[in-house]
Structure 1
Amino acid sequence: MNDQTLHSDPAVESRITIKALEQSDMASFAEIMSLPGVRRGTLSVGYRNAEKIAAWHERHLKGSVSVCAWLEGRMVGHAGLTVFRPCRAHSAELGLAVHDAYHGRGVGTALLRALTETADASLGLRRLELQVFTDNTPAIALYRKFGFVEEGVSRGYAMRDGILADALHMARLADAPSFLAI
């Protein structure tokens, strides 16, 4: 997400389709990750082609949840949950990117809703965490809307535009899932 005003268009949001990211989506995914706003607003290196994005996806998100948003016949966003292993198996790291031309139209909300519902209802995760640049106020507002809270700031966390930028660590804690007694 970039630094535009946070708002959502319910009419647009209702037309967004969320689906699992597939191998055939890698060119569209690479295009989104190379957009100027996505490069500046995420902790990701841009300018990767479809093959490099596919290799990254295979290494980092294998066995996790990776979804994309489609609107008007094009991919307009991607989000993923990377579930941690052994002693942190109750947790996952979240990443989100929205196409520069579709900010403020409900894409981030639709993606985040899909991931938080999956984390709660299918995976039984108790903790979702993320890092976001401290000046990315629209993204921070979106995460707060879904129950994420600030846990701390890392100064000089990542290189952005030739300078070291601070990142905010946020997390969302959920109660343990209930179980159905038979």
Structure 2
Amino acid sequence: MVTVTIRAIEVNDWEGLAALQQFPKVRRGTLQMPYQSPAVIRRRLENQPENIYQLAAIEPESEQLVGTISLHQQTRGRQHVGCIGMAVRDDFHGQGIGSELLKEVVEIADGWLNLKRLELTVYVDNAPAIHLYQKFGFLIEGTLKKYAFREGRFVDAFTMARII
């Protein structure tokens, strides 16, 4: 287990976020395109909507960003719903960082936003992530066939939700 500091992501985290997205397992497990321009990532952080809460996991010794999670509160008739996306640097997998990030975002959803449904999409071949989400009460609701085109082929994904 690695101790990390969890805090709100800041605009000046753009370089760490750009570096995070270049790790092979991060690219493979998310829908982020490889080799995104760091300038695009910076602009995204500079123009973050108010209904998106994004946290960073910072390794204190190196002060490097090693993981991130976002909670996007929906609008209109879905204000009670939050959508989650997360990533942890390849060399920090299996060290409890995903659990720490997910714990904090669930606390925001439950204790501050009163969200009743948290949802996410995860590739069916990402067993560690599926296990983590199930540990936090997420259930598989369905399979999305040919959900995304990744590494030259179509892949399926599960839609998962935690309802309280």
Tell me the TM-score normalised to structure 1 length: 0.85
Displacement of 1:34 in angstroms is 1.6
Match in the other structure for 1:151: 141
Match in the other structure for 2:53: 65
Please tell me the residue identity of whatever aligns with 1:66: Q
Task: Specify which structure has the bigger relative contact order, considering alpha-carbon pairs within 8 angstroms and separated by 6 or more residues.
Answer: 1
Q: Which of residues 13, 16, 19 in structure 2 aligns to 1:31?
A: 19
Aligned partners of 2:11 and 2:46 also within 8 Å: no
Displacement of 1:116 in angstroms is 0.4
Instruction: State the SS of the aligned residue for 1:78.
Output: strand
Q: How does 1:32-111 map to 2 (within 5 A)?
A: 32-57=20-45, 61-63=48-50, 64-71=52-59, 72=61, 73-111=63-101
* Percent sequence identity over aligned pairs: 41
Please tell me the residue identity of whatever aligns with 2:136: F
- Which structure is higher in strand share? 2
Tell me the TM-score normalised to structure 2 length: 0.94
Instruction: State the SS of the aligned residue for 2:18.
Output: helix
Number of residue-to-residue matches in the alignment: 161
Structure 1: state its 5+ residue gaps.
1-8, 175-182
- The one-character-per-residue Cα deviations of 1:26-75 (angstroms, maximum 9, x if unpaired) are 1100110121110011122121232211333456x511100000113211
Aligned partners of 2:57 and 2:101 also within 8 Å: yes
Instruction: State the SS of the aligned residue for 2:137.
Output: coil
Match in the other structure for 2:5: 17
Match in the other structure for 1:5: none
Match in the other structure for 2:113: 123
Displacement of 1:92 in angstroms is 1.1
Structure 2: state its 5+ residue gaps.
none
2:158 matches 1:171: no
Aligned partners of 1:67 and 1:78 also within 8 Å: yes
Aligned partners of 1:152 and 1:170 also within 8 Å: yes
* The structure with more radius of gyration: 1
Match in the other structure for 2:104: 114
